[in-house]
Chain A
Amino acid sequence: MTYLDTLKLSFSTVTSYRTRSLLIVLAMALGVAAVVVLTALGDGARRYVVGQFSSLGTNLVIVLPGRAETSGGFPGAALGQTPRDLTLEDARFVGHLPQVRRYAPLNVGVAELSSGGRLREVTVLGSNAELLPIRHMKLAQGSFLAHGSERSAQIVLGSQLAREFFPDGKVIGQRVRLGDSRFLVSGVLAPQGESMGFNSDEIVIIPIDYAQELFNTSSLFRILIEARSRNDIEPAKIAISHALKLRHDGEDDVTVITQDAVLATFDRILRALTLAVAGIAAISLAVAGILVMNVMLVAVAQRTSEIGLLKAIGAPSADIRKLFFAEALWLSLAGGAIGFALGHAGSLMLRLAYPVLPAWPPAWASVAGVATALITGIVASLLPAARAARLDPVLALSGK
């Protein structure tokens, strides 16, 4: 018997036992779809987190005052005290290290913003002109803080604040009051939405000097530093720690973290999670495989006299085995293909329902899902096919 005829004959068998075939195909398809959708979900979560981190800036090195935030265990940590302040001079100093492309000192506080009779509390960021490129922020109108503008009273508004305070859209050049000082609006941020639990649409940005004056402090909350390249991140981290230790009388009282390290950790964790989820989904495929085996065994029992007949008209055992094998192949092929389509449709629906989640099924998962379906289907058919091929034709013909 030729391979083509084997495939044709087994295909007609599969289509004539419609309910049985549909059920197996459904079980297989659900297994494959589960693998595809769940990995899409896992990988989507990974990409979402990685994307969130990347939106904070690239090649980012962050300096925090105090050792407490990572190693803990110095008195006063619980009260939020730090052993030594991080100052604007520290920031300027590390900003001139060769590995550093640009730096932005950062202070954060809350103050009252008022203009034209409107009034509300806002989060205030004090920084310099470099904050915009480092944090990958975008402007909707006007300009950001000017370079070397630490002495000029400029303010940049988050998009929602601009809308609330100036509904007519004429924002640039307007005067606002923040705390006790007057500022000139120089720009408006493009809407960005929430990122890492921080809504940049409801903040204002002012020069760092004004911020320190406003909050009556000389210390910094953070220094954001962009290294020259990805390869410069580690050297920059070491150089910064070293420089600040020298400036702080040999005391190691700042924490330098790289976004890269945090990102890599999250990436690893979420990849492992995706694999675990895919593994769980694959178990359902194994169950589908057992179902295929069971149904094929029943088919052999049901078709005993037919197998006897095939032998009587001269089919060798190998042909009988191939026929049952091909039947399982069709079933798992159909299950794999439908599951693939179903999984991709499910991922599409996930993406439509949660646009922030890039739930694209990774290619390896689609391939692995379909391949597992095929392999389990084929392995599951080995035993029934062998049993059919071994049947004694005389007994099989008499239906025993």
Chain B
Amino acid sequence: MIRLSEITRVFRMGDQEVRALNAVTLDIASGEYVSIMGPSGSGKSTLLNVVGLLDRPDSGRYELDGTNVTELSETERARVRREKIGFVFQSFHLVPRLTAAENIELPLILEGIAVDQRKSRVEAALDAFDLRDRARHRPAELSGGQRQRVAIARATILRPTALLADEPTGNLDHRIGAEVMALLETLNQAGTTLIVVTHDRELGARAQRHIAMRDGEIVADER
């Protein structure tokens, strides 16, 4: 359950103030599939970063699963991020010197899970995302679709409640992009909240709920 009320985020560009988010109020229930669309600079990525606790709002209140996360310390926010949020990025953001399996293992290492448990969970993820024969390959040796699958496997290995995807198909061709979206939607059907930020109307239309943004404000919210 994500509950934003009156969230404002202001950036300074020289002597100008840019309101990336202007008193945004938004509730997203667990298990929802939401797309956020809007022109660049409309604040959709900032909204995603605030929801993912990467960015701190300047004012407003953010409740995640019943706890007020606006007032948490940096270390506590990192823990919440690790346990409840999974990020999927347009440019994948895999660590280039680690293999696919090692990239997927990273959140487990950060969480401090024992080695033998890590092994079996990574194995299971490799099977689930059809990456078994790519486990020992480094990102440079993987195709775009495979890289995004590794990134999704990494984002979901700790079973987060919400998956936040920022233009997840932006660097993929149409067919592979559709496959990746289908994969994310499968995860959503299994109960994970899915929030997708995109330019692509066709992609946005696949969600059950469509939010449109302009100039830091929500201008439409349709189901």
Contacts and interface: CB of A to CB of B under 8 A. Distances in A.
B112 A312 contact: no
A257 B83 CA distance: 82
Given A2-B112, A309-B93, A314 B74 contact: no
A313 B54 contact: no
B161 interface: no
B87 interface: yes
Q: What 9 A-B pairs come out closest when comparing CB atoms?
A: A314-B82, A316-B78, A16-B97, A314-B81, A309-B93, A316-B75, A393-B54, A5-B109, A312-B87
Contact of B74 (A13, A306, A316): A316
A262 interface: no
Contacts of A314: 78-83, 85, 107, 110-111, 158
Contacts of B111: 314
A238 interface: no
Contacts of B154: 313
Contacts of B98: 12
Contacts, number: 66
Contacts of B95: 306, 309
Nearest to A396: B54
Interface residues on A, range: 20 to 34
The binding surface of chain B is classed by DSSP as helix
B79 A312 contact: no
Interface string A63-79: 00000000000000000
Contact of B87 (A5, A16, A305, A313): A313
A315 interface: yes
Given A5-B109, A12-B97, 9 more contacts: A9-B109, A306-B95, A310-B106, A310-B110, A311-B81, A314-B80, A316-B74, A317-B78, A393-B54
Determine the main DSSP class of A at the interface with B.
helix
A316 B75 CA distance: 5
Contacts of A12: 97-98
A111 B74 CA distance: 94
Residue of B80, B109, B112 contacting most chain A CB atoms (<10 Å): B109
A397 interface: yes
B172 to A, nearest CB: 19
Nearest to A320: B78
A313 B97 contact: no
15 contacts: A5-B112, A12-B97, A12-B98, A13-B97, A310-B110, A311-B54, A312-B52, A314-B83, A314-B85, A314-B111, A317-B78, A318-B75, A319-B110, A394-B54, A394-B55
A1 interface: yes
B96 to A, nearest CB: 8
Interface of A: 1-2, 5, 9, 12-13, 16, 305-306, 308-319, 393-394, 397
A333 B181 CA distance: 47
Contacts of A309: 93, 95
Nearest to B94: A309
Interface in B87-111: 87, 89, 93, 95, 97-98, 106-107, 109-111
A313 B81 contact: yes
Nearest to A393: B54
B49 interface: yes
A312 B93 contact: yes
A195 to B, nearest CB: 62
A394 B49 contact: yes
A312 B110 CA distance: 11
Contacts of A311: 54, 78, 81
A312 B85 CA distance: 9
Nearest to B80: A314
B93 A305 contact: yes
A313 B75 contact: no
Given A314-B107, A319-B110, A397 B78 contact: no
Interface string B63-88: 00000000000110011111101010
Given A1-B109, A312-B81, A394-B54, A317 B97 contact: no
